[in-house]
Structure 1
Amino acid sequence: MSDKTKKLEEFVAWVGGHIKGDEKGEAQIYLNYLFQAFGHKGLLEAGATCEERVKKNDTGGTSFADLVWKPRVVVEMKKRGADLKKHYRQAFEYWTYLVPNRPRYAVLCNFDEFWVYDFETQMDSPVETVKLADLPNRYGALNFLFPGDVAPVFGNHHEEVTREAADKLARCFNAMVGRGIERPLAQRFILQILMAFFAEDIGLLEKYLVKRLLDECKSPEDTYDILGGLFEAMNRASGNPGGRYKGVAYFNGGLYANPARVELVAEERSLLKEACDFNWSKVRPEIFGTLFEHSLGKEERHAQGAHFTSPVDIMKIVGPTIVEPWRAAIEGTKTLSEMQGLAHRMQTFTVLDPACGSGNFLFTAYRELKRLEAQLYNRMADRFPKSVDVNQRTLGFVTTTNFYGMDLNPFAVEIAKVTMMLAHKLSIDELHVSESALPLDNLDSNIVHRDALVTDTGSRSEWPTADVIIGNPPFLGVKKMKPELGQAYIERIRRAYPEVPGMADFCVYWIRRTHDALPICTPADPLQGRAGLVGTQNIRSNESRIGGLDHVTVSGTVIEAVDNQPWSGDANVHVSIANWVKSQDDAVLPETRRLWFKTKKALRKPKSAKGTVRAAKEYDLDMREVSYISSSLSDKTDTKTAVALACNTKPKRTFQGVTPGHEDFVLKLDAAQALIAKEADASQLLSPYVVGKEVLGGATKPSRMILDFGERDLLAAQQFPKALELVKQNVLPKREAAAKKRVDDEEERSHHVQFLERWWQLSYRRTNLLQAIAGLPRYLACSRVTSRPILFFVSSKVKPGDALQVFAFDDDYSFGVLQSKVHIEWFMSKRSNMKSDPRYSSINVFGTFPWPQRPTAAQVTAVVEASRKLQAVRTTALKTAKGGLRVLYDTLALPGKNPLRDVHDALDKAVVTAYGFDSKRDVVAQALALNATVAARIKTGQPVTGPGVPAVISDKSTVVSSDCAVKLE
């Protein structure tokens, strides 16, 4: 007997002799002994806490989780004999709001059973259930309780089963199409056999019927007759009183209206038999469709490698938009009449997903509404048992016909219909209601193949009327719209939606249309007029925000949002999520809003049930309750009213660095020296060159040179034959290929043609930048894509790459202002986004940023001195620290005394004083007010102080030092 087994047997015996199962009195001692049985001195010694406060998401109150051990598990105890499935919602909500460093697993326990949940992969059912008596031999599901990092082993992991099932059917479909079966027929056949597989394992068909029929199929002709006959039987309204299909009920639903008869070859029959052997009751319909669809026609990409939108991510929309308003309404009812009225409202409540895909969002919304229906019915029965008998509930308030969807992919639409048909039966089984699952609802009019935005004639598409709208519109940035959608479609959509700016991302059209289509949320009907959509990062900035969320917040209110997170449905996609109410009436709005935001986190690599290592997440989500969420999905001061200031743009002071266009323009030092050895005059064309990651990574001098012919024409370039030959060999072929490449975007084609016409020149030399820094000994720069601008000086003899944002200042005062929290926080409120990272914008950030207007000479000097101390601390630290400025600044996120933090705090204090701001107030709000003041003064012709050293300093040389992060010496 192993030591683990022995200790767990002792625990089981101890429970039997000492525990009665009192939730309040015995939970903590039970859990402490449980931790000891798993090898700890006790739960406190392991780092777990009891009775941890957790904010309630709907009432704003506080609950207490029985045990929290971050980042491993949250445990909720219930009294002995409690039906644990009734407490699933509580466990899920505790898990949801235990951020940051959220526990990976959740456990419900009634002293005799452990229900283990892995909500990241499976929401509806536990990944394992273990009886206390079996714990010594089945502890694998609770391996995460042991010291160290021991992967749990689950026996009820639905994701793996679903992937394998989807893979089998997709391979069968691909084989059918590959040998010439018409695609529509193959699709119809696969959907009909899919439903048959599910039906056999969830009790809609006789057990083993489909398996027996497949065993009878020995030839292609057999499958045509036998499986085709099954589909006909499932469509026979009068039923099947005898014969091979005796007892097969009428399925209807439109799915079997045209039974698919196909002659299957041996390979295809074999794949179906393998698929039939799966337990389809464990296959998750809400992810099956996506996994299956992603595998079609792609032999190299099976379902095992496909991504799907996790139910947890879907709940970030369905929860705030549907579940929480309904739960609040249910819990607010007191009389039977109120409850009956709410039941009637539930019957008429409608949900629309205008980009429904395979139906994932609709499935989750239906499932949650059915659970709410059960909650309402149980409340009626509990409060008024003489009038309502919970055992006599025969008809549901919610049906699948309450749900509507649209999608441009016709097969995805058919999958979505099947998904929703299955949702009905699965809810009946979960909630133990006596509704009839057959015949299936016909959803042909509910979920339709349609472009949700525009018709072929250029008018807006019709949307069904709906109380709430949810969904996940296409992630398509504005730069990809023309190549992927075509010029004609872009022109059509822009004519139909002239109010959406031309530089807005594709999903913005859905946001705009959704808000316009919503009914108004009123105190008389607070359940309608709500929406939740996933969007690209850019929906919270620039023209995408103007076209979408700015419009929403004119007459609506964002109540919950995720400002930035990687999306589960696609690799390398970062998204924002907005949930809003079409109202600004406090009577229908929550007292506080919830804002989720991404935080960095170093996580161990969790393992799946089968032991394969999953990708380690490099982020965590945290949440704060706020009183306001702006259209930039922030609780900070909304700076959308800030205007560009002429004093900041004339003259131009900030630039993007040089864009070579081809890596062959950039030479390593030895290659540059070799060119000069062949052609001495080529030294006139070569300049030291640096990019942001090199400086932030620790480089103090350039390691490369850029070959720049300037604005010389081809004849003038011939004066440097060796250098020109180098570009001719390495760059010209690539530019010729780009110009010849067939592209639908006329603008992109013209772009490449123009580059070919001057193939020896850099793509964007930024002559105005080079002129601006030519007279300076050094210039300021930071990375353009950055979560926090880190400013540094670069010798003006070094040309900056286009990953750098360049500021044409050489003084320490400008460094101080731009490196201070005033500018950093202004940047965070005005930046645009590239994937997950903020990006500096010359127009939106610098162009609107007001500088101190009336600083005294002493205040300027204080900023200069604080700047020099900051530079000195960085320079000293970098002499011994490895990793450069990036690693140095990462230390600011760590606790403990830090000289870098101290000098930054001193700089912030000096700059805030120079502005005349109140250090206790929001600096962005004060800067926004100053922006308006400066703009008004410019408009009326009054003097203002623009960027750079103010006139109060008569000798500029006194504020210019020699510090340089990148220089030639």
Structure 2
Amino acid sequence: MQSVPEFIERWSKSGGSERANYALFLTELTEVLGVEKPLPATDTSAHDHYRLERPVASHIIGETAKKFIDFYRRGSFILETKQGSQAKPTDADQLSLPTIPKVKRVGHGVRGTRTWDKSMVKARGQADNYARGIAREDGWPPFIIVCDVGYVFEIYADFSGQGHGYTQYPDGNTFRIFLEDLEKPEIQDLFRAIWNDPGSLDTSKQSAKVTREISDQLALLGNSFETQGHEPEKVAGFLMRCLFSMFAEDVDLIPKGSFTDLLKDMANSPDNAAPALQSLWETMDKGGFSAVLRADLLKFNGGLFAQADALPLDSQQIALLIGAANKDWKTVEPAIFGTLLERALDKPQRHKLGAHYTPRAYVERLVMPTVIEPLRSDWEDVQTSALLLADQGKMKEARDLAHSFHRKLCEVRVLDPACGSGNFLYVALELMKRLEGEITTLLDELGEEQSALGLAGHTVDPSQFLGIELNPWAAKVAELVLWIGYLQWHFRTHGQATPAEPVLRDFHNIENRDAVLDFASTSPRMVDGVNVTRWDGITTKTHPVTGEEVPDEDARVQVLDYAKPRAAKWPEAEFIVGNPPFIGASRMRDALGDGYAEALWAAYPKMPKSADFVMFWWDKAAMRTRAWIPKTGKGTRRFGFITTNSLRQTFNRRVLEPHLSDPKKPLSLIYAIPDHPWVDASMGAAVRIAMTVGRKGRVDGKLRTVVEEVKGETENEGRVVRFEQVEGRIFGNLRVGADVAGAKALKANKFIAHMGMKLHGSGFIISKEEAKTFTKHKKEALGTVIRPYRNGRDLAQISRDLFAIDLYPLSESGARSQFPEILQHVMDTVKPSRDQNREPWRKKHWWWYGRTHEDLRSAIGNLTSIIATTRTAKHRLFSFQPSSTIAESKIVVIALDDYWQYSGVSETLCMRLSPCGFHGSSVEPFGV
């Protein structure tokens, strides 16, 4: 077998004949790398997971012919080859041989010429198209490789598994690997990983691992400063200055290792640590000579070091800081780091530190169709036009066209109106920097030095990424996250070139305020001269009887009234993307307070009170998007939000449908995932969400439905999700096809089907043994006050034989006189939580269910049995139940008791489901 140097020597002489050379070249490449050689073709191409000339259906509009991938490995790469030739030597460099004609194969162009550049761009486009075709069979490969046989490899990657867009890997400086680079061991390892373990090259996973390792130090530091009684604002500033200093020393913004060495020097004299750190940060703010580090420092400024106060440290705290400083901050993942730091500063969330965060792949899944896909489409048009101008010899015009697009890219504004610690903004920043890198590459090919771009202040930077965040610590963290991400990209792109001073600039791009409600002032709510308070929504205590955690009625906050409430304004932005808070309409009073909820509804009088909190963001973004004017750039081009998967249910569709059906300025959903796994960073829990992306006009969209979920190596990595995709007009119920959600209900069915009862108190539910105890001396209670209880699982599986206490319509005094033991049980198990309920009616009538359900009670009052079916089920089953049964709200109660009617609804031809929304963790249809 030939060695790598022999392989390079042999193939560097080839040129101009792709079809004659590529198969032999690639086969020999696998041999010198020590990876598996391509396999023979079989009769069935679907079984050919690793071969040359792999057939694939074309997905270029207007083409139907079968195409062939030059080299394919399932789950790894698509490799498309071309072969150019070296520039023709001058006559002076050649022997004069007049009897031999000078014939030279050019192939796909002379390397370094416009023809060659255009050929490589075309090959990239072919590979993209092949990836779309093969994805229907094998999923999206993580790598695309464009190869000029015997000369260079261009590597592009997309680890999303969704085909969101292949970008230069690992960046615009190093995505090209020349043949002679194969002598380097690290390049050989890279190719072997692409062949055998492509997932290991996902830099976001590598960064996530490093970032998680920091979380323990952050949690312990947060606890220690809190114990010492320091104000949260000072702790936040101190920790952010420390962590940025750790990053700065690892990327040589300050002398390498200098901050860690300073901490080590202070370990034996902790009393000197605070003055030393304060001196360092004062110098970093203004720039100049640092006596502490004995070195000249850049001017950082930017607000982070404007307050240079340092907290006093003990030996243990210094040790924790040293432990964090020893990590590799060059590769820290800013999106995860922001969440972890935010939690370290927030006591109620500190116990979740490191346990859960939103995986990078999930964030990209929304940012790509919202922000990057339209920008990339614009760029591909510009790139094609620029290469055409270059072919015509109009080099200056070609460069001007690329520069014009770059200027526009540097003016694009992205807004996250609920930005948290900035992970959506950071991902948008990084992906736009990758796009900027492609502009750099083209300008370099068009004869302009790369250093002319980005080093003179004309570059994509944090000022373009706008945020609104109510939590002051999260807002500060978001700014830091953007700057760390920006500087990471700077050093990946420009090597050790020093960024312009000041290194950090205070753009005021992250606003600390309410994103949906503005008001003149607040005042304490008073009733009869007494302050009205509510449970703080966080603090619990153990109930002395049940042992369960219940709201602590002593942990209270003031209820506020809001004067002159009005809708908050958002800054102008071409794109809006984010993850607004998950609060259902029924919980808004509890979570936000009566005063806030009432002010919000007053500020948005057209918003249905049954709509979830997130719909206020959705509605505002939709209005701005429908007002988009491309020529002037006014309004919003696209918006994309994460919402709960109840978005497609009736009470939230009332917000969507007026935008989608407007006859003059309609909105279209161009991308939607109705049900997707998610990690709620604020809750530290797995939830189900919907993704929607909207744009102006009436156009078709892509609807992706989850068909398979596989857990990652760790829960933090989220789940690997496989989708089925259909295209068409997406309606408010997030379906393509017939607008079922817009269908009118049959009047004949009115008052027949009812949702089951919402108890609003688990204490109402009792076991069979408890029911026997309560009815031992009060037999009349059975079937009236104590009734069989069924939920969906009881119907679909084996019944648990539970019962429910139902004291309606008895008054409190009536219940006490007739069923004192039963009322006492409800008082012990239900009343503590009802006392904190924001609904006055539920608080007052604590011994009743959350609603009286008189419509249901009236419908079944004269029946001996009812027909029941679960709202959530893969298979639709109906069953008879006694009319005395308390059916839980996930059950649909049909007020019919005839067998012929039962057989009718059970008939296959009569029963069709219209999936429209569901809760929970399963992918099941919801609705009948």
Shared fold (TM-score, shorter chain, > 0.5): yes
Q: Residue type matched to 1:516 in 2?
A: M
Q: How does 1:272-283 map to 2 (within 5 A)?
A: 272-283=321-332
Q: In the alignment, what sits opposite 1:654? A: 753
Q: In the alignment, what sits opposite 2:703? A: 595
1:793 and 2:904 matched: no
Shift of 1:165: 2.1
Residue from 627, 634, 645 that aligns with 2:728 = 627
Counterpart Cα distance in 2 of 1:714 and 1:258 = 60
Residue from 798, 823, 841 that aligns with 1:750 = 841
Q: How does 1:495-510 map to 2 (within 5 A)?
A: 495-510=602-617
Shift of 1:95: 9.9
Q: How does 1:206-221 map to 2 (within 5 A)?
A: 206-217=255-266, 218-221=268-271
Shift of 1:805: 0.9
Residue from 545, 548, 565 that aligns with 2:676 = 565
Provide the secondary structure at the position in 2 that maps to 1:562: strand
Change (3 A) 1:287 1:30: farther
1:262 and 2:311 matched: yes
Change (3 A) 1:142 1:43: farther
Q: In the alignment, what sits opposite 2:535? A: none
Shift of 1:688: 5.1
Counterpart Cα distance in 1 of 2:807 and 2:451 = 85
Q: In the alignment, what sits opposite 1:607? A: 713
Counterpart Cα distance in 1 of 2:168 and 2:351 = 25
Q: In the alignment, what sits opposite 1:543? A: 651
Identify the range of structure 1 (320-329 vs 668-677) with the bigger mean alpha-carbon deviation: 668-677
Aligned partners of 1:565 and 1:575 also within 8 Å: yes
1:455 and 2:453 matched: no
1:436 and 2:499 matched: yes
Q: In the alignment, what sits opposite 2:573? A: 466
Q: In the alignment, what sits opposite 1:322? A: 371
Provide the secondary structure at the position in 2 that maps to 1:790: coil
Aligned partners of 2:168 and 2:434 also within 8 Å: no
Residue from 361, 366, 382 that aligns with 1:312 = 361
Identify the range of structure 1 (275-284 vs 435-444) with the bigger mean alpha-carbon deviation: 435-444
Shift of 1:280: 0.7
Q: In the alignment, what sits opposite 1:824? A: 912
1:25 and 2:23 matched: yes
Aligned partners of 2:358 and 2:716 also within 8 Å: no
Residue from 401, 409, 423 that aligns with 1:346 = 409
Residue from 248, 256, 269 that aligns with 1:199 = 248
Q: In the alignment, what sits opposite 1:808? A: 895
Q: In the alignment, what sits opposite 1:422? A: 484
Counterpart Cα distance in 2 of 1:663 and 1:342 = 60
Q: Residue type matched to 1:582 in 2?
A: K
Q: Residue type matched to 2:281 in 1?
A: F
Shift of 1:408: 0.5
Residue from 679, 686, 695 that aligns with 1:581 = 695
Counterpart Cα distance in 2 of 1:425 and 1:270 = 27
Q: How does 1:700-779 map to 2 (within 5 A)?
A: 703-704=801-802, 711=809, 724=819, 727-728=822-823, 730-739=825-834, 741-743=835-837, 745=838, 747=839, 749-756=840-847, 769=856, 772-773=859-860, 779=866
Shift of 1:391: 4.9
Deviations 1:574-631 (A, max 9, x none): 21112122344xxxx6xx5221222244x4x5435xxxx87884x8341424132223
Counterpart Cα distance in 2 of 1:754 and 1:775 = 26
How many residue pairs align between the two structures? 795
Change (3 A) 1:702 1:250: closer
Change (3 A) 1:52 1:215: farther
Provide the secondary structure at the position in 2 that maps to 1:235: helix
Deviations 1:24-52 (A, max 9, x none): 52587579989996799989899735547
Counterpart Cα distance in 1 of 2:156 and 2:859 = 67
Q: In the alignment, what sits opposite 2:114? A: none
Shift of 1:68: 7.2
Identify the range of structure 1 (777-786 vs 364-373) with the bigger mean alpha-carbon deviation: 777-786
Shift of 1:504: 1.0
Provide the secondary structure at the position in 1 that maps to 2:676: strand
Q: In the alignment, what sits opposite 1:918? A: none
Provide the secondary structure at the position in 1 that maps to 2:707: strand
Identity across aligned pairs (percent)? 22
Q: Residue type matched to 2:284 in 1?
A: M
Q: Residue type matched to 2:885 in 1?
A: K
Shift of 1:821: 7.0
Shift of 1:403: 2.1
Counterpart Cα distance in 1 of 2:206 and 2:83 = 26
Counterpart Cα distance in 1 of 2:47 and 2:350 = 43
Provide the secondary structure at the position in 1 that maps to 2:846: helix
Extract unaligned runs of 5+ from structure 1.
Answer: 1-8, 846-969
Task: Let me know the Cα RMSD of the aligned residues.
Answer: 5.1
Identify the range of structure 1 (167-176 vs 408-417) with the bigger mean alpha-carbon deviation: 167-176
Change (3 A) 1:376 1:15: closer
1:378 and 2:441 matched: yes
Q: In the alignment, what sits opposite 2:467? A: 405
Deviations 1:554-585 (A, max 9, x none): 3322211222211134423221112122344x
Tell me the TM-score normalised to structure 1 length: 0.70
Residue from 527, 532, 542 that aligns with 2:640 = 532
Q: In the alignment, what sits opposite 1:696? A: 796
1:476 and 2:545 matched: no
Shift of 1:549: 5.8
Change (3 A) 1:666 1:369: closer
Residue from 599, 608, 628 that aligns with 1:492 = 599
Q: In the alignment, what sits opposite 1:946? A: none
Counterpart Cα distance in 2 of 1:300 and 1:634 = 37
Identify, as 1 or 2, the structure richer in strand: 2
Tell me the TM-score normalised to structure 2 length: 0.72
Q: In the alignment, what sits opposite 1:966? A: none
1:286 and 2:335 matched: yes
Counterpart Cα distance in 1 of 2:169 and 2:347 = 31
Counterpart Cα distance in 1 of 2:58 and 2:605 = 43
Change (3 A) 1:356 1:679: closer
Q: In the alignment, what sits opposite 2:449? A: 389
Shift of 1:216: 2.3
Change (3 A) 1:47 1:485: farther
Shift of 1:354: 1.3
Q: In the alignment, what sits opposite 1:882? A: none
Change (3 A) 1:378 1:705: closer
Provide the secondary structure at the position in 1 that maps to 2:502: coil
Residue from 637, 650, 654 that aligns with 2:738 = 637
Counterpart Cα distance in 1 of 2:223 and 2:450 = 48
Q: Residue type matched to 1:657 in 2?
A: G
Deviations 1:641-697 (A, max 9, x none): 434443321xx1112335666666666556666777766656565665543212312
Aligned partners of 2:222 and 2:344 also within 8 Å: no
